[in-house]
Structure 1
């Protein structure tokens, strides 16, 4: 522990040293504190920006995906029940479809084929049958399995099921009263895809050419408004233009399922309103971050650059439409004085209101509306691509975060340096004032001695 200064001289040198140290630290520390506060506030602001951009990007991801944007709705009526789903079939749409109402009968489901070995052909699942190759085929599909003379039925079953090029054949052994039955079941459906098994050695006939068909591969068959349509699978991708059907169960004899497909205007409207809300929320965040008085990123040029581009894209025309809808304004979406998007319900100069224009676009021009948002040059696509440059690895946000974290690291380094400097500065002051203390103490001692020598002797 350092010796208190001023003991020898009697002067309050500790207060003098403390005052000088405090003054020296205060000026330098204030600068460091200000730098730390500014960097911390900016880093928090960048975090807020990153969260806002990510949230907006989630909205754009849905809006820029044609499969999400082109919202069509299917309803099913069967045996007196109407709903949004059916266990008979499922309809999905691709892009904008004309829609309509269709009566559907599901007469047959597509199925694969199955072969069974003859009852009594084997006495146990450990029986062997011979050696050679089994050649499996179903339509254009095929694979081979090599059978060794020592392979049992169980071994053959495993080889078939484990074959790397097996196209969908499952081998099983049923232990019936008549003995083991080896079965092959093919998942390949369609009347032209009947499973066949041949061999290159007659000793394998019992598990190939000698097997009988227990199930025949068939096509799915449906009627749409009385017209028969078949498919080798239970999927009908082009039976109705733009509408794919997946059949799951048969309809009852003489009963028809009524399928109604139309534009889901409510979902499209909700999607566009989500975009408007997301845009305005982001705009509000950007305004708060760049506020010249209170904004933590008031002097960050990247904020102003993003905001300018955001408004530019939102207010510019896009290509890829018929021309009837090439701007947000055409779809009833306008930008107010605060830079926020809105759909106005007020008619001006006898022109349709924004709400009317949007309703008309959804109901009568969904194709162009989709291109306006989700097309290759669509607004959502442009905004998503531009926003990605801020959020991607090595993008604007990441670089800004890295720079601010580096600044905070330097602040801590400067704070450590200041601590060492103040220690050195105080030690230097103590050295000087200790020397002064010693000198004054010596002067005081000399003065006291002289005073004692020169003091008159009192007479007795």
Structure 2
């Protein structure tokens, strides 16, 4: 239904009057909604920036909260005049900080498992049957058993052994040689004295157990470290050098030792400390920008100021359980400047070493305390990581603030819809009132015209 045009009867420009009132009413109310929407959107953007910054900083904190991060070693290898990756021959790994040093290592023998073969000509076909009973397999302390039925062929026996419960690494195979099928058992158990044995409880099974020949015996791995012979039941030497695990994969040439050098990976620790300083300063800049009283989108958010305050408090605190030589970031050369940012100075003052020199000395000579200051029970990185998690957790400060702002923005959308409905009613009410006025004025105008016509003087005729 078309909306009637107001003012037709009276001749007044009532449409302009109605339009002016509607615009004025909407402007006041809409301005409030727009302001709230802009504020909520800016805050939500600020919370998003805060969340991203905290997450980025937490990535650094998680590394520094792990004590093993600081107790890493660096291994270098040289073989036949070339340095680089020698994992095809030997690789080394460490647990904790080791004394380190340089070692000449020769690999003369790799650990191997054992193998048993059935006698040539014992079988004419892989479908031969051999008897019934129970086979018992053993290698070192490992054992398992397989039940054999009278109707089982060599192929059936092969399948039963390979799928047997408790099989410790025995593989049965059939080689179809010119002398007929050969049944083989290969054991993965290495080390001297661990050669595979197979027994039975029925002599009909001798051909696939006690009568099989040993084609390969189990052996230890053998290496020489600076002229000292060391053996291992496997190709892994767990403590041939204190704190260092060696894994051998191939033999070295006779008289050509591989040179292994192990030392503390100070470069990696230094990088991690610098990453912490950089991450802290980047986060501090973000917090200052977000909480700026004039331009910050989270200027009135107490949670930001609270985090910033706690950040500085934890960073400047002392850590217990150290040797006493160091207990704070300051002791290792990390200081806080007037802007609240961390720095590692390159210039010493009053004859004292620079921050960079103090850090280098701490990592080189007191790595254990460095690790405790960051990752100890009350270490700085650990405390900051735990505190940051209270902001980023699913029920944390940032998550709840983000959810509240999104809900507020939904309320803004709802308020806009309510405003549209209100303005429709408001305009309808105005039209109703001005239409009545229009009718009244039209009636007055009609009455006035009638009276004028009645009272109009009669023209005289000549």
TM-score exceeds 0.5: yes
**What's 1:316 paired with?**
317
CA–CA separation in structure 2 for the residues paired with 1:120 and 1:375: 69
1:159 is paired with a residue whose SS is helix
- Does the aligned pair in 1 maintain the 2:70–2:367 contact within 8 Å? no
User: Where does residue 165 of structure 1 map in the other structure?
Assistant: 166
- Gap change, CA 1:444 and 1:23, over 3 Å in 2: same
- Other-structure match for 2:190: 189
Deviation of 1:84 after TM superposition, in Å, equals 5.4
Conserved? CA contact 2:89–2:250, under 8 Å: yes
CA RMSD of aligned residues (A): 1.7
Query: Which sections of structure 1, spanning at least 5 residues, go unmatched?
Result: none
Contact 1:76 1:83 in 2 (8 A): yes
Query: For 2:299 and 2:164, how far apart are their aligned partners in 1?
Result: 66
- Unmatched 5+ residue regions in structure 2? none
User: 1:317 & 1:93 partners in 2: Cα distance?
Assistant: 30
Whether contact under 8 Å (1:75, 1:85) holds in the other structure is: no
1:424 aligns with 2:422: no
Q: Check conservation: 2:114, 2:186, Cα contact below 8 A.
A: yes
Q: CA deviation at 1:98?
A: 1.0
Equivalent residue runs for 1:323-338 within 5 Å: 323-338=324-339
Asked whether 1:126 is paired with 2:130, we answer no
Q: Deviations over 1:400-452 (max 9, x none)?
A: 11111111111111111111111111111111111111111111112112211
Q: In the alignment, is the contact (CA less than 8 A) between 1:109 and 1:247 conserved in 2? A: yes
Distance in structure 2 (CA, Å) of the matches to 1:91 and 1:261: 9
Task: State the distance in 2 between where 1:250 and 1:359 align.
Answer: 39
Corresponding residue for residue 176 of structure 1: 177
Deviation at 1:458, TM superposition (A): 2.0
Structure 1 residue 119, shift from structure 2 partner: 2.1
Determine the C-alpha separation between the residues in 2 that align with 1:320 and 1:152.
69
Deviates more, 1:155-164 or 1:415-424: 155-164
Which residue of structure 1 lines up, in the alignment, with residue 278 of structure 2? 277
Q: Which residue of the partner structure matches residue 343 of structure 2?
A: 342
Cα distance between partner residues in 1 of 2:151 and 2:141: 31
Q: Distance in 2 between matches of 1:67 and 1:186?
A: 37
Deviations 1:171-220 (A, max 9, x none): 22222222222222222222243222233333333222222222211111
1:253 match: secondary structure: coil
Higher deviation after alignment, 283-292 or 212-221: 212-221
**Bigger mean CA offset, 65-74 vs 415-424:** 65-74
Assess if the C-alpha contact under 8 Å between 1:109 and 1:249 holds in 2.
yes
Partners of 1:68 and 1:245 in 2: how far apart? Answer: 21
Q: Write the distance in 2 (CA, Å) between the matches of 1:163 and 1:443.
A: 112
Partner of 1:378: 379
SS at match of 1:197: strand
| Aligned counterparts of 2:195 and 2:378: Cα–Cα separation in 1 | 48
Alignment of 1:350-429 (within 5 A): 350-429=351-430
User: Is the 2:87–2:249 contact (alpha carbons within 8 Å) kept by the matching residues of 1?
Assistant: no
After TM superposition, the structure 1 stretch with the greater mean CA deviation from structure 2, 162-171 or 397-406, is 162-171
Distance (Å, rounded) in 2 between the aligned partners of 1:380 and 1:15:
68
Name the stretch that deviates more: 181-190 or 161-170: 161-170
Query: CA distance change for structure 1 residues 451 and 381 in 2, over 3 Å: closer, same or farther?
Result: same
2:47 matched to which residue of 1?
A: 46
Partner residue of 1:10?
Answer: 11
Separation in structure 1 between the aligned mates of residue 335 and residue 112 of structure 2, nearest angstrom: 55
CA apart distance, 1:104: 1.3
Residue-by-residue CA offset, 1:204-243 (whole Å, 9 max, x unaligned): 3322222222221111121212222221111112111111
